[in-house]
C-alpha cells in the first residue's frame, strides 16, 4: 500500500523535475507547452498529483482537467487582484481571519497537493509575492476565538489543511475543544479529488474525526471541479469521511473551459449528491490576477445556473450562485422582465462592520464579469 505522504512526495519530486526539464519523460508534454511550465517556476509553480495526472489528456489543449492545472500564456496578464475577497481587511493576526460574525478562518498551511491555476489564494504559493499569511501563533489565534463568543465555527483552510499531519490537526482540535461556544468545525479540502489516499491510508485521521463527532459537528467542504474527478478512489474517500461522522458539502468554482457547461455541471451536482456530498455554493469566477481567463459574463453564468436547476430535483438544486468580494457573499438571483440592464442580487453574508442587507439591483451589461459592490 502506497501511503498518502509518499504519493504527495512523489508529485513534488516529479513537478520539480519537470520544471527543470519540461521535455522530461513524466508527462511527455507537447513542445509548445513546455515554455509555460518552465516560466511558471518563477511565479506560481506547476504541481499536479501523480494519480490525478493519469486522468488528464496532456495532448488535448481543450481537456478540462488539463486547463485546471496547466500553466498557459494567459497567465502573463496583469489584470485582476491577488486579494479578490478583501482578506487583508479581515486578518486579525497572521493566519486568522474574522470576516463574518459567526466564523473564524484559520489558514493552516500554504501547501496543496496540486496547484489549480484559478486559485484565489495563489499569492500564498507564488514566488513573486513575498507574503506569509499562515498560522504562526496558534495560541494567539485560539485565544482570539475564545474571547469572541459570537464565533460559533472555525473554518480550516489554506492551502489545503488536510495536507497537515494528523498529529498537527489533533493538537489544533484539542486546543479548540474547551471553547464552549464553538460547535462546528469546517474543513475546506480538495484532497478527496487530488489525493484520495489521504483518507484510505491514515486510519488515525478517520479515528480522530470519528472521536470528535461527539464534540463538534464536522463539515468537510469538498472541492470537486469536474465529474471526471469523481473516481472510484475519490468515492472511497467520500465514504470514509461519511462513515467517520462528517457532513460533506460541495463548493464549486465556475470556470470557463473547465466546467462552464450545462451537462458537466448537472452531472457533477447529481453525482456528488448521490454520494452524500450536499450542494452549497457555485462560485462565480473571481478576477484573480493571472487567472482572469477563467472568467465569464455574469449573464452567461446565470443562464447556465438556470439551465442546470431545470434538470435537477429540489435537494440537488439547493446550491446558491455566489459572487464573493471584499464586502461579503452576494447571491446572484436573476433579472426581472424588461430590466435587461439590471441584475437582482441578495446579500448572503456581509463583512463585519458594514451594513448591507436584503435585495438590491446592480447595473450590468452583457459583458459584465464582476461586481465591485
List the chain pLDDT tens, one digit each, 373 residues.
778 988 888 888 887 777 677 666 667 777 788 788 878 887 888 899 989 999 999 889 999 999 999 999 899 889 999 999 999 999 999 999 999 999 999 999 999 999 999 999 888 877 656 567 889 889 999 999 999 999 999 999 989 999 999 999 999 999 999 999 999 999 999 999 999 999 999 999 999 999 999 999 999 999 999 999 999 999 999 999 999 999 999 999 999 999 999 999 999 999 999 999 998 999 999 999 999 999 999 999 999 999 999 999 999 999 999 999 899 999 999 998 888 899 999 999 999 999 888 899 999 999 999 997 6
Q: Give the per-residue pLDDT at 16.
A: 76
| pLDDT confidence of residue 32 | 82
Grid coordinates representing 313? 430535483
What's the pLDDT at 30? 79
**What strands lie across the sheet with 277-283, from one edge to the other?**
91-93, 96-97, 103-109, 153-158, 184-189, 217-222, 247-253, 277-283, 320-325, 328-334, 342-350, 359-363
Domains of the chain: 4-70 (no CATH), 87-314 (3.20.20.70)
From 238, 183, 245, select the one nearest 215 (Cα to Cα). 183
Amino acid at each position: 500500500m502506497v501511503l498518502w505522504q509518499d504519493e504527495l512526495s512523489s508529485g513534488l519530486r516529479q513537478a520539480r523535475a519537470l520544471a527543470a526539464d519540461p521535455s522530461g519523460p513524466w508527462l511527455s508534454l507537447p513542445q509548445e507547452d513546455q515554455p509555460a511550465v518552465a516560466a511558471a517556476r518563477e511565479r506560481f509553480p506547476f504541481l499536479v498529483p501523480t494519480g490525478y495526472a493519469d486522468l488528464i489528456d496532456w495532448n488535448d489543449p481543450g481537456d478540462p482537467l488539463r486547463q485546471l492545472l496547466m500553466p498557459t500564456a494567459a497567465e502573463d496578464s496583469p489584470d485582476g487582484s491577488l486579494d479578490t475577497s478583501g482578506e487583508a481587511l479581515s486578518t486579525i493576526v497572521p493566519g486568522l481571519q474574522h470576516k463574518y460574525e459567526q466564523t473564524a478562518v484559520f489558514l493552516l498551511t500554504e501547501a496543496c497537493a496540486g496547484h489549480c491555476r484559478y486559485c484565489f489564494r495563489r499569492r500564498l504559493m507564488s514566488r513573486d509575492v513575498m507574503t506569509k499569511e499562515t498560522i504562526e501563533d496558534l495560541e494567539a489565534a485560539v485565544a482570539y476565538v475564545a474571547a469572541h463568543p459570537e464565533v460559533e465555527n472555525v473554518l480550516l483552510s489554506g492551502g489545503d489543511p488536510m495536507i497537515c499531519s494528523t498529529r498537527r490537526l489533533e493538537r489544533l482540535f484539542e486546543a479548540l475543544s474547551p471553547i464552549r461556544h464553538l460547535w462546528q468545525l469546517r474543513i475546506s479540502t480538495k484532497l478527496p479529488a487530488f489525493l484520495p489516499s489521504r483518507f484510505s491510508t491514515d486510519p488515525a485521521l478517520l479515528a480522530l474525526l470519528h472521536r470528535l463527532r461527539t464534540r463538534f459537528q464536522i463539515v468537510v467542504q469538498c472541492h470537486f471541479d469536474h465529474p471526471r474527478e469523481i473516481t472510484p478512489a475519490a468515492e472511497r474517500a467520500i465514504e470514509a469521511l461519511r462513515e467517520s461522522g462528517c457532513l460533506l458539502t460541495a463548493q464549486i468554482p465556475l470556470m470557463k473551459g473547465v466546467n462552464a457547461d450545462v451537462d458537466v455541471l448537472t452531472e457533477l451536482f447529481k453525482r456528488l449528491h448521490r454520494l452524500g456530498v450536499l450542494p452549497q455554493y457555485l462560485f462565480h469566477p473571481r478576477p484573480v490576477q493571472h487567472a482572469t481567463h477563467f472568467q465569464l459574463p455574469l449573464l452567461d453564468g446565470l443562464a447556465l445556473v438556470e439551465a442546470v436547476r431545470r434538470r435537477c430535483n429540489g435537494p440537488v438544486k439547493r446550491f446558491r450562485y455566489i459572487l464573493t468580494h471584499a464586502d461579503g457573499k452576494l447571491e446572484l438571483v436573476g433579472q426581472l422582465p424588461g430590466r435587461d440592464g439590471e441584475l437582482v442580487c441578495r446579500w448572503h453574508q456581509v463583512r463585519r462592520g458594514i451594513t448591507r442587507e436584503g435585495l438590491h439591483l446592480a447595473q450590468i451589461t452583457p459583458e459584465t464579469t464582476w461586481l465591485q459592490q
